[in-house]
Amino acid sequence: MGEIDFLYQDKFNEECGVFGVINVKNASEVMYYGLHALQHRGQEGCGIITSDNKTLKQVKGLGLVNNVFNEKVLASLEGDSAIGHIRYSTSGGGGIENVQPFLFRHHTGNFGLCHNGNIVNSRELRRFLEIHGSIFQSTSDTEIFAHLIKKDNQTNRVEAIKQALNRLEGAFAFLALTEDKLYVMRDKNSLRPLSLGKLNGGYVVSSETCAFEAVGAKFVRDILPGEILIIDNKGNMTSDFYAKKTYNNMCAMEYIYFSRPDSDIEGMNVHKSRKEAGRILAKESPVDADIVIWVPDSSTSAALGFSEESGIPIELGLIKSRYIGRTFIQPSQAMREKGVKMKLSPVPSIVKGKRVVIIDDSIVRGTTSKKIIDLIKAAGATEVHMRIASPQITHPCFYGVDTSTFDELICARHSLEEVRDIIHADSLEFISIDGIHKACNRTKMCVSCFSGKYPTHVYRELDEANKDGKF
């Protein structure tokens, strides 16, 4: 798996998180705590750009927020406005050149830019821009948006942004910062979350509402699909839209896995949605078992719901090591084989002699599920059943998640019974697509990785995902 931590190989990884501040004193300090609250959305790099109403200053680096920023660095980032970004690389690869926010200097005005999501027509747009003279400094698709803005002949920046956004296909939550304004932009399908909060007379914007609690901000509202929200350094706010038709297609995996349980996504608390998913899963796929355990940590809420609905007592059957993180990379083959055991340890006195049902949030590749089940059986469980609080993942995601081919997905290549046999489970069931809609209290959201029905055009991506023609 190269430099990606093998312990995370059986989970989705989300691209990044964004945070913005305007008209708030010591914006860089507020930004630090905001980004720290979003750290679960990416650990490969982070950056901050601040404005003191005259100039834009930038600091970015590889690693965690507390590794890149300290008091001295934050003190150098003066100003009452800022944008920040934490990164997990799914588009463009790693390296400092792809760490955001980007700072662009242009004769029409300088601006900083960062983005959560993925532009599915980035290749065509990059080729078009390069033919017309654009020179790229990174391989990130975020930079494409900046070049589209700069290429536009519009003297009105908002109109230039509108035209640029209308050329993009995919999922995005953009933040742009000039010397005196913060621009907040969300794609017309609302695939990625983005919310507005108020803090000490100013405003903050975040990929997740959990960051509002971290900085003491009060939630105001969600950014609307297709909206361009502009806030200046005096607190004036204007709203516009780049698309006439907009849609409510929030990514289901935001509820299931990506977001922190204390975040609210468009009015629904993440913990509550996961707990309800567990309840629905227990109704849809009951099992005779002695105890319920969960795979830490994103499955905790679903396990609670499953236990309450089924009446099967919940126990702490797996312990997660807090000392093996994303820096534990490129191990020897012998260490690879012991990797899951180093990350997760069963509690033999809890599982021995018991019929165990394990609750997990998803199965992507299947490798870790098999190893976990083997661990539980080796610890003395008489039966191990698996219940998954998401539907079967049968199609790649092209909207900022690191699965781009069918070959990566075990449920795309095998039947339910084959998957059960491969992972050594005594039984295996997934929540239904209808069930996950009910759990999230939504009639519409993006479930393309479960259904294969995508909210945007992804024809080229599907062809590349199916290179060998198997699917």
Of the listed 16, 46, 251, 411, which one is catalytic? Answer: 16
Residue 132 lies in a domain: yes
> Are 359 and 322 members of one domain?
yes
- Identify whether 344 is part of a domain: yes
Domain enclosing residue 388, as ranges: 270-465
Same structural domain, 375 and 239: no
User: Is residue 130 a part of any domain in this protein?
Assistant: yes
CA angle 113, 117, 121 (to 5 degrees): 95
pLDDT at residue 351 in the model: 99
Are 51 and 132 part of one and the same domain? yes
Q: Is there a domain that residue 257 lies in? A: no
Q: 445 and 248 in contact (C-beta within 8 Å)?
A: yes
> Does one domain contain both 417 and 455?
yes
Residue 254 forms part of a structural domain: no
- Is residue 295 within 8 A of residue 372, CB to CB? The reply is yes
- Give CA–CA dist 100/111, Å, rounded: 13
What is the number of domains present in the chain? Answer: 2
Is 47 a member of any domain?
yes
Q: What is the mean pLDDT of residues 324-343?
A: 52
16 included as an active-site residue: yes
CA–CA distance, 199 with 23 (Å, rounded to integer): 9
Q: Are residues 298 and 167 in the same domain?
A: no
Looking at the structure, tell me whether residues 73 and 152 fall in a common domain.
Answer: yes
Q: Which of 232, 247, 262 delimits the end of a domain?
A: 247
Q: Are residues 221 and 276 in the same domain?
A: no
67 and 36 in one domain?
Answer: yes
For the chain, give the mean pLDDT: 89
Residues 309 and 227 in one domain: no
Q: Taking residues 71-92, report their average pLDDT.
A: 88
The reply to whether 470 falls in a domain is no
Residue 146: is its pLDDT beyond 60? yes
Residues 49 and 189 in one domain: yes
CB 158 within 8 A of CB 94: no
Encode pLDDT of 354-368 as tens digits.
Answer: 999 999 999 998 888
CATH code of 44's domain: 3.60.20.10
Residue-level pLDDT at 93: 57
We report the CATH number of the domain holding residue 359 as 3.40.50.2020
- Does 213 fall in a domain? yes
Same domain, 26 and 141: yes
What contacts 322, CB < 8 A, 6 or more positions away? none
Query: What pLDDT, on the 0 to 100 scale, is given for residue 465?
Result: 55
Neighbours of 287 (CB within 10 A): 20
Phi then psi for residue 295, to 5 deg, are -90, 115
| Alpha-carbon torsion angle 350, 351, 357, 360, nearest 10 | 70
